[in-house]
């Protein structure tokens, strides 16, 4: 498969009054053409900061990329100036934001907000840009598009606004689309519509999508591969099947165990005890160790490297070391894994027609 | 829209009526009469004057007469200036006040916008701190103290600008600065806060994510949204300029309405006090109406009740 983006050892920190917050600590991953990579993890795990660095949208100061490379079409985006990034943002890489209620400019007509990017990147004149804006609105399923482009955001519902935001992000046929929890602020029926729309558009445009979420149900529904982040690092990465049927990292077990499913009437949801570490002084060793019932002595001393499970599946836990004791995931997670197989929540490759289960 | 404006005008008339009533009775509570300083008059002569001006009538009758006159556009006759009509006196004095108010509003607002913008864009730098200090001084130093300082520094010490009086444009500079410092400070504080909030909003990040240049993001997307709340304070600010000018005109000996108003109160010139108060009140309610209508122009989310769309 063709690689469109390569992230190597990305490290991002923020200077605050309390000290330097190490939000992202050495993240590496590849993104292939036409695939959807989901990044999951709890709040503060560095998901959004990682993707904002890809777009050069880290507010600086206080934030800065300390080291690492973001290789895209022969350029290292981490080293580009802000004005050079404006040629890539919105054209090659674009972004869908979390809250459609606040992500559109309230005093500007929808049409103008879509046309701006077209005029800037595609050098269109206003008339052509307007035509294209109407096409885009029709593409994302907004009826009466030619009338709607003259309306303001407050005249649209939340779901419709998110469609507009998607239209803006697709305007210049980006190669990479970053979706930062695009359905979190929407109600469930609208969520499903927006997810379907995104899958549909991905097939038409062949864009690669990075999908940030903490909703594992959504991951199973849309993603090809999953990266699990914890405390600014990727702790497990693999295909959806790898991560859902054969999870290796205890944190992934915790996430799967805390995910509600429709058929799990008899059990209680499992919570992961404790809270995420302070990223001003990240702990020595494995950051998850204090919350990990399977932690080994070495977890407190030394950070685990990425162990290879298969060609597509890697996880950073000492449990995969050849000298480590053999540990099985907890029973509840095993039942969960079987449950996915039964309900098809984590669909087999090729079958991407999941419902919200 | 037309319905809304009509409705507002009716409310304005009610407001003005209430102001007229309250001022009338408060004014009558003041000790003295227009003639109590005229030492040369005998008691009998004073009594004759009271009779002639209707000041011996019971209060409700005086009140009714006044309101009746006001409705017909008759503000009465001044007691202190050789029986001249109040509206003529106000008109003869309006020029300097209007010029001073306009100059200081433009100067103060423009400088306030520039300083506020610099503060927000260069947040937590030397520029920001300097701009904030200017604004805080402007809000906390009373305009009459500031006026005195200006007169002393530029008029007395440096001798480059006239200390007082109203003659050439040069004479307008110091009072304009003295009066402009308040709108300047208010606009700076407001714009800085609003701009910082807008710059941190999601739609600004989306605008940046579209690949727009920083200048386009700042001026086209952020500034317009940050200016909307600033319009809210324009109404009170214009009123502040009007009342502020009462003191400033006195200090700089400017023959404006404010200076005349202060003298009228000292002299118990009933009809002038009422006339000037009503003049300021009309100005005030009209300014507020204009500000409300401006909202609709700048913010598409606001639709006036009674309007159709």
> pLDDT (tens digit, 9 = 90+) per residue, B179-218?
999 899 999 999 999 999 999 899 999 999 998 988 899 9
Peptide bond into B257 cis (omega under 30): no
Q: How far is B211 from chain A, CA to nearest CA, in Å?
A: 4
Structure tokens at A339: 């449950």
**Per residue in B237-269, pLDDT tens?**
887 787 678 888 888 988 888 888 888 888 888
Shortest distance between the Cα of A51 and any Cα of chain B, in A, equals 12
Using pLDDT thresholds of 50, 70 and 90, give the confidence band for residue B304. Answer: low
* Cross-chain residue pair A116–B212, CB shorter than 8 Å: yes
Chain A residues near any Cβ of chain B (below 8 Å): 55, 57, 82-83, 85-91, 94-95, 97-99, 102-108, 116-117, 120-121, 152, 154, 165, 168-169
Question: Do the Cβ atoms of A154 and B300 come within 8 Å?
Answer: yes
Residue B123 at interface with chain A, using a CB cutoff of 8 Å: no
- A70 in helix, strand or coil? strand
pLDDT in tens, B113-134: 999 999 999 988 999 999 999 9
The shortest C-alpha distance from B184 to chain A (Å) reads: 26
Measured between its terminal Cα atoms, the distance across chain A in Å is 30
Do B210 and A106 count as a contact with CB atoms less than 8 A apart?
no
HSE-up of residue B14 (Cα within 13 Å, Cβ side): 6
Which chain B residues have a beta carbon less than 8 Å from that of A104? 203, 206
Spell B258-284 as b/e; 16+ CB within 10 A means b.
bbbbeebeebbbbbbbbbbbbbbbeeb
Contact check, Cβ <8 Å, B203/A103:
yes
- Integer Cα distance of B136 and B188 in angstroms: 10
Of A83, A107, A116, the CB nearest to B300: A107
Output the pLDDT for position A339: 67
Which residue of A57, A85, A105 is in closest CB contact with B221? A105
Among candidates A57, A105, A106 on the partner chain, residue whose Cβ is nearest the Cβ of B209: A57
Instruction: Report the distance separating Cα B112 and Cα B109, nearest Å.
Output: 5
Contact between chains at A86 and B213 (C-beta distance less than 8 A): yes
Per residue in B21-67, pLDDT tens?
999 999 888 887 787 767 777 888 888 888 878 888 888 998 998 89
List chain A residues with CB under 8 Å of B299.
106-107
Interface test with B, best of A54, A107, A178 (most B CBs within 10 A): A107
Q: Which residues in chain A are contacts of B212 at CB distance < 8 A?
A: 86, 90, 116-117, 120
Using alpha carbons, select from B246, B101, B253 the residue that is nearest to residue B165. B253
Q: Per-residue pLDDT for B136 more than 70?
A: yes
Of B202, B205, B224, the CB nearest to A107: B224
What is the C-alpha to C-alpha distance for residues B160 and B162, in angstroms, rounded to an integer? 7
Looking at residue A353, what is its pLDDT?
41
Given a cut of 70, the residues of chain A with pLDDT beneath it are 261-268, 339-357
Of residues A91, A97, A108, nearest to B211 (C-beta): A91
- Residues with Cβ < 8 Å from B21, sequence gap 6 or more? B63, B67
Distance from CA of B236 to the nearest CA of A (A): 24
Percent of chain B with pLDDT over 90: 36
CB distance from B3 to chain A under 8 Å?
no
A314-315/A307-308 β-pairing: antiparallel
CB spacing of A152 vs B212 below 8 angstroms: no
Tell me the chain B residues in contact with residue A89 when contact means C-beta distances shorter than 8 Å.
208-211
Cα–Cα distance measured from residue B78 to residue B75, given in angstroms and rounded to the nearest whole number = 9
**B213 contacts A83? CB cut-off 8 A:** yes
> B210 and chain A: CB distance < 8 Å anywhere?
yes
Tokens of A114: 């879509």
- In the A/B pair of chains, how many CB contacts fall below 8 A? 76
ipTM of this model? 0.83
Which contacts qualify for A267-273: CB closer than 8 Å, 24 or more apart? A267/A332, A267/A335, A270/A330, A270/A332, A270/A333
Measure in Å the smallest separation between the Cα of B112 and chain A Cα atoms.
Answer: 23
Report pLDDT for B305: 60
Q: What is the predicted pLDDT for the residue at A266? A: 55
């Amino acid at each position: 498969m063709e690689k469109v983006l390569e992230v190597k050892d990305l490290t991002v920190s923020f200077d605050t009054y309390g000290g330097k917050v190490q939000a992202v600590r050495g993240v590496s991953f590849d993104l292939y053409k036409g695939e959807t990579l989901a990044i999951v993890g709890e709040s503060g795990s560095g998901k959004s900061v990682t993707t904002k660095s890809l777009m050069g949208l880290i507010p600086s100061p206080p934030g800065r990329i300390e080291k690492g490379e973001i290789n895209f079409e022969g350029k290292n985006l981490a080293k580009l100036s802000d004005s050079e990034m404006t040629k890539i943002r919105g054209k090659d890489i674009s972004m869908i934001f979390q809250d459609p209620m606040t992500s559109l400019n309230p005093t500007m007509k929808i049409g103008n907000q879509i046309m701006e990017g077209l005029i800037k990147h595609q050098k269109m004149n206003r008339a052509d840009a307007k035509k294209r804006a109407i096409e885009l609105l029709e593409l994302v399923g907004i009826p009466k598009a030619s009338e709607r482009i003259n309306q303001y955001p407050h005249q649209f519902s939340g779901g419709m606004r998110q469609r507009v935001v998607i239209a803006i992000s697709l305007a210049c046929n980006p190669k990479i689309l970053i979706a930062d929890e695009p359905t979190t602020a929407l109600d469930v029926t609208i969520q499903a519509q927006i997810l379907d729309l995104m899958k549909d558009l991905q097939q038409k445009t062949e864009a690669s999508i990075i999908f940030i979420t903490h909703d594992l149900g959504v991951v199973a529904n849309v993603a090809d591969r999953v990266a699990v982040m914890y405390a600014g690092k990727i702790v497990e990465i693999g295909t959806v099947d790898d991560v859902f049927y054969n999870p290796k990292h205890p944190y992934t077990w915790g996430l799967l165990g805390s995910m509600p499913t429709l058929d799990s009437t008899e059990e209680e949801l499992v919570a992961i005890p404790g809270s995420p570490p302070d990223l001003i002084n990240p702990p020595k060793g494995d950051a998850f160790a204090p919350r990990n019932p399977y932690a080994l002595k070495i977890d407190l001393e030394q950070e685990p490297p990425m162990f290879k499970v298969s060609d597509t599946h890697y996880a950073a836990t000492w449990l995969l070391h050849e000298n480590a004791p053999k540990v099985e995931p907890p029973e509840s997670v095993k039942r969960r894994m079987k449950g996915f197989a039964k309900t098809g929540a984590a669909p087999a490759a090729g079958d991407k027609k999941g419902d919200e289960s | 829209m037309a319905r809304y404006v009509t409705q507002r005008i009716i409310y304005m008339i009610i407001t003005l009526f209430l102001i007229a009533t309250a001022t009338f009775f408060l004014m009558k509570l003041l000790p003295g009469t227009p003639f109590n300083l005229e030492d040369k008059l005998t008691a009998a002569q004073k009594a004759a004057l009271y009779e002639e001006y209707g000041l011996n009538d019971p209060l409700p009758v005086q009140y009714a007469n006044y309101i009746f006159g006001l409705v017909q556009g008759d503000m009465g006759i001044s007691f202190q200036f050789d029986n001249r009509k109040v509206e003529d006196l106000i008109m003869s004095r309006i020029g300097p006040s209007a010029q001073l108010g306009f100059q200081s509003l433009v100067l103060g607002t423009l400088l306030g916008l520039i300083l506020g913008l610099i503060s927000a864009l260069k947040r937590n730098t030397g520029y920001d701190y300097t701009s904030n200090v200017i604004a805080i001084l402007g809000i906390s130093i009373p305009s009459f103290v500031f006026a005195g300082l200006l007169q002393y520094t530029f008029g007395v010490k440096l001798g480059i600008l006239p200390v007082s009086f109203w003659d050439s444009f040069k004479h307008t500079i110091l009072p304009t600065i003295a009066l402009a410092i308040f709108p300047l400070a208010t606009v700076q504080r407001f714009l800085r806060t609003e701009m910082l909030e807008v710059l941190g909003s999601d739609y600004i990040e989306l605008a940046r994510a579209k690949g727009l240049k920083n200048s386009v993001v700042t001026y086209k997307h952020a500034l317009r949204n940050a200016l909307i709340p600033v319009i809210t304070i324009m109404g009170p600010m214009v009123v502040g300029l009007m009342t502020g000018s009462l003191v400033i005109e006195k200090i700089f000996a400017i023959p404006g309405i404010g200076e005349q108003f202060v003298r009228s109160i000292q002299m118990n010139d009933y009809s002038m006090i009422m006339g000037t108060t009503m003049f300021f009140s009309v100005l005030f309610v009209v300014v507020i109406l204009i500000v409300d209508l401006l909202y609709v122009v700048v913010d598409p989310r606001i639709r006036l009740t009674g309007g159709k769309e």
